[in-house]
């Protein structure tokens, strides 16, 4: 039995080393952060599968050395496995769906996703389930078979969508000029993560008491929130210095003339 354990330990070390070497080579050739995340995920899964694949024959060999009738045990396991497979169909679906997610590269560890309305950073992934860490620090565990819709916020490129509300009394052209100046300043500060010059779309909607102006900023994956926060700060400073007001909800109250036979409003 000592020989079997020694062989299992040696093969496990060798396979894990080869997998990590292949992952390091693929990681060095990865052009985008998303590719590196995929390599990390495949590396973890490869090491896990290798250990399980080596552990099963090693366990059977140890039992045979101990005098356990492995053939009879396997026959019993086959019969029991049929009943277990019928009772554990959801677990089997979890593994199949996890395999498809991995092969289709839907998301990787470290990416920010929304899975069926649940948002968070992918903290861990296995063939059985996916673990998300929400913005509030909550750990969300989702069986892979229950994943039906995935929104990936950090794949390829991202967009910071910044909308500004100004009253109808303000000049939209002046506000747009301030947004253009802030966009130029943003490019000077964060040009390493902003892929293209921001696009100032202008007025995109009319509300009850204000107009909506929009700027779209294309960024590298995962930087849209940081870029959006900095652009809003630049807008606040620019609007304050130019006397441009931001819109806010308000209520106009009119008093009726009591001389016309109507009581004034309180």
Range(s) for CATH 3.30.70.100 in the chain? 158-242
Name residues whose C-beta falls within 8 Å of residue 126's C-beta, 6 or more positions apart in sequence: 45, 48, 98
Mean pLDDT, the chain, whole residue set: 82
As given in the structure block, the two tokens for residue 207 are 């509300």
Q: Name the CATH architecture for the domain at 158-242.
A: 2-Layer Sandwich (3.30)
> How far are the Cα atoms of 57, 85, 93, 190 from residue 79, in angstroms, in the given order?
19, 10, 20, 63
Tell me which fold the domain 112-152 belongs to.
SH3 type barrels. (2.30.30)
pTM of the shown model: 0.66
The more confidently predicted of residues 8 and 115 is 115
Question: Given a cut of 80, is residue 112 above it in pLDDT?
Answer: yes
In this prediction, residue 46 has a pLDDT band, given cuts at 50, 70 and 90, of confident
Q: Looking at residue 77, what is its pLDDT?
A: 57
pLDDT at 238 over 70: yes
- 67 or 248: which carries more pLDDT confidence? 248
State pLDDT tens for residues 49-103.
777 776 666 766 666 666 666 666 666 555 555 555 555 678 888 888 988 898 8
Annotate 89-152 with DSSP letters as a single string. HHHHHHHHHHHHHHHHT---TT-EEEETTEEEEEEEE-SSEEEEE-TTS-EEEEEGGG---EEE
- Residue intervals in the chain for CATH 2.30.30.60: 112-152
């Amino acid at each position: 039995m000592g020989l079997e354990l020694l062989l299992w330990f040696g093969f496990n070390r060798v396979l894990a080393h080869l997998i990590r070497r292949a992952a390091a080579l693929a990681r060095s050739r990865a052009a985008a952060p998303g590719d590196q995340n995929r390599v990390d995920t495949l590396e973890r899964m490869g090491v896990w599968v290798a250990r399980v694949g080596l552990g099963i024959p090693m366990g059977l060999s140890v039992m045979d050395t101990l005098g356990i009738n492995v053939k009879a045990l396997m026959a019993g396991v086959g019969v029991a496995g049929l009943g277990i497979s019928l009772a554990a169909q959801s677990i089997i679906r979890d593994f199949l769906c996890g395999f498809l997610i991995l092969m289709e590269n839907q998301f990787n560890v470290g990416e920010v996703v929304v899975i069926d309305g649940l948002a968070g950073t992918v903290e861990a992934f296995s063939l059985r389930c996916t673990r998300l860490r929400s913005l509030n620090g909550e750990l969300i565990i989702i069986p892979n078979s229950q994943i039906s819709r995935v929104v990936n916020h950090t794949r390829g490129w991202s967009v910071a969508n910044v909308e500004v509300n100004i009253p109808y009394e303000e000049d939209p052209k002046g506000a747009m000029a301030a947004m253009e100046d802030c966009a130029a300043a943003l490019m000077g500060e964060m040009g390493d993560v902003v892929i293209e010059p921001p696009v100032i779309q202008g007025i995109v909607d009319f509300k009850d008491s204000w107009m909506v102006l929009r700027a779209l900023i294309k960024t590298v994956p995962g930087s849209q929130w940081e870029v959006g926060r900095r652009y809003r700060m630049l807008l606040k400073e620019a609007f304050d210095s130019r006397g441009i007001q931001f819109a806010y909800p308000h209520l106009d109250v009119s008093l009726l003339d009591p001389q016309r036979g109507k009581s004034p409003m309180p």
